Structure 1
Amino acid sequence: MHQNQPLTIAPEALPEVITRYLKAHRAHDTAAAVTSFTGDATVIDDGRTYQGVAAIEGWLNHSATEFTYTIELTDAQQTDATHYVAVHHLEGDFPGGTIDLRYQFSLRGDLIERLVIEP
């Protein structure tokens, strides 16, 4: 349970594993992005849950090709030592054309254990 209010931090203050994942995701480098996750990690995106590295790899491959878009990191927050939020502004050829998404990361050790992406 998170009692703490999220604290706004500089984007460069995000943990290395998060910046590594985000950089690989932006570059559509699935092989590099998937190494940021624990073996039993969970990703929840667009109401769908992806459990484990193989499912996450499939999700990354699909999301990289479904639409063309730009992504800009606009805000970063830290709730506690293992919970971070990276807010991204996306513009592209998806329905609506523009959206701000909250990437909510839970870390275990130096890897991502859980990622929830939602508006």
Structure 2
Amino acid sequence: MNIQLADPIKNYFEISNGTDPVRLKHCFNANAVVLDEGGTYQGHTAIAAWFCDTRQKYAFSAKPLSATTQQQHEIVTAEVSGNFPGSPIELSYTFLLQDGKIQSLKIA
């Protein structure tokens, strides 16, 4: 199934399945926020640190399965596989885009 994703979201998934956190700053606005596992990470430095910690902890990969739009948010359901109990699982990625980049991302 071919899922249509906005470029910043498509790029996020391509980068998140790799190991280069430096490229993440091209997806996110400078003051962007990521909410994941009860933590809040704001700005390029914090988001890159979150990415590195999460990659090291879970060695995950995410495959988008579906995408919908609700109000101003793009919601992507992805199958996430990695080094954690119950793998693979489906997670919801809720993106808010602003000025062609990700302003916020909530993973639940």
TM-score, length of structure 2 as denominator length = 0.89
Matched, 1:20 2:11: yes
In 2: Cα distance, 1:62 partner to 1:26 partner: 14
Post-superposition, which runs of at least 4 consecutive aligned residues in structure 1 deviate over 2 A?
A: 68-71, 95-98
Asked if the contact 2:13/2:62 (under 8 Å) is kept, the reply is no
User: Does 2:105 correspond to 1:115?
Assistant: yes
Matched residue of 1:77: which SS?
Answer: strand
Which residue pairs with 1:86 in the alignment? 76
Which residue of structure 1 lines up, in the alignment, with residue 63 of structure 2? Answer: 72
Q: 1:37 aligns with which of 14, 28, 35?
A: 28
- Equivalents in 2 of 1:15, 1:85: separation in Å? 11
Give TM-score scaled by structure 1 length: 0.81
Give unmatched runs, 5+ long, in structure 1.
1-9
Candidates 78, 89, 95, aligned match of 1:99: 89
What is the CA distance between 1:92 and its match in structure 2? 2.5
Larger radius of gyration: 1
Q: Aligned partner of 1:58: which letter? A: A
Q: Is contact 2:16–2:61 with CA below 8 Å preserved after alignment?
A: no
Structure 2 gap segments, 5+ residues each:
none
TM-superposition CA deviations, 1:75-96 (whole Å, max 9, x none): 111124x420111112232122
Contact residue 21 and residue 32 of structure 1 kept, 8 A: no
Q: Deviations over 1:47-95 (max 9, x none)?
A: 1110111110100111111123342211111124x42011111223212
Match of 2:47 in 1: 56
Deviates more, 1:102-111 or 1:89-98: 89-98
What SS class does the counterpart of residue 107 from structure 1 fall into?
Answer: strand
